[in-house]
Amino acid sequence: MQSNGAFFMMKVLFLLEGRCVEVMNDRVLVVEDEAGIARILQLELEHEGYSVGVAADGRTGYEMASTGEWQLILLDVMLPEMSGIEVLRLIRQAGNPVPIILLTARDTVPDKVSGFEHGANDYITKPFAMEELLARVRNILRIFQQYPKESEGSDVIKLGDLTIELRSRKVYRKDILIELTPREFELLVYLVENRNEEKSREDILSEVWGYDFIGETNLVDVYIRYLRQKLDKGYRHKLIHTVRGVGYMIKEPDA
């Protein structure tokens, strides 16, 4: 099944203070051969306001991706005609920097590893919760729109001796590479973008997890603990600070 026809540019016109403002929706390409999953992804993404195109095999996916008209690609790994990893490799080889989230089967660690090696920006394991996928999509789009590709080096955030490369999702403290999971990475980026600001657990949950986890604020504590283990352990200057009765914040070591 191939539903290229589902791709169309959606333009929304808003009347704002008497002026007509044109808003172009973000376009997301879904490359997925399982028709049921592709359909649900399309419906959910369209419901969120994205314009969606669908390709049902790797070759079509690569051809559609090459048009350069997408803000994000969701790319299944197991595809007929050309694997998702091969599609990814070709897209990057052609110098196309479009953010790509891989959809991988459970327990296929080699997929994830080679996916990152070939330039995937994130991955999500099937079966996935739709809310989580939509949160990842929002996060990646936010990061890429905030730090457009035009200005070289603008995808790097620095805070003290901490360096975050947004596109490659690499994090260093001094010169030491720190391996983070996608969620840890998103949490770190959120706190660093809001440096020196106290953030409540509720704020962090809704911004990083992307949906309401009422009563699950201990998730934040768990992930803060992971981050501290990886970022602050062994360093005299701690980046992550607990704000009693509120939540957390990241501060420059001398701030």
Find the shortest distance in angstroms from Cβ 110 to Ca ion.
16
* Nearer Cβ to Ca ion (120/204): 120
Q: Per DSSP, what are the bridge partners of residue 243?
A: 247
Residue ranges in contact with Ca ion by CB under 5 A: 33, 76, 78
CB of 36 to Ca ion, least distance (A): 11
Residue 196 CB coordination number (10 Å)? 11
Q: Residue 242: what are its φ and ψ, rounded to 5°?
A: -85, 130
CB of 221 to Ca ion, least distance (A): 36
Nearer to Ca ion, 26 or 76 (CB): 76
> Which neighbouring-strand residues pair with 21?
14
Q: Looking at beta carbons only, is 37 or 156 nearer to Ca ion?
A: 37
With both helix axes pointing from N to C terminus, report the angle between 35-47 and 130-146 in degrees, rounded to the nearest 10.
60
Shortest distance (Å) from residue 29 CB to Ca ion: 15
What are the tokens at 180? 């983070």
Conformation bin of residue 95: beta by default, left when phi > 0, alpha when psi is -120 to 50: left
Distance of CA 131 to the CA centre of its chain: 13
Q: Which C-beta is closer to Ca ion: that of 108 or that of 206?
A: 108
Least gap, CB of 104 to Ca ion (angstroms): 10
Helices 109-117 and 84-93 cross at an angle (nearest 10°) of: 10
Calculate the CA 165 to chain-centre distance.
13
Cβ proximity to Ca ion: between 78 and 219 the closer is 78
Shortest distance, CB of residue 34 to Ca ion, whole angstroms?
A: 5
Cis status of the peptide bond prior to 127, with omega within 30 of 0:
yes
In the complex with Ca ion, the residue whose CB is nearer, 76 or 207, is 76
Q: Is 169 left (phi over 0), alpha (psi -120 to 50) or beta?
A: left
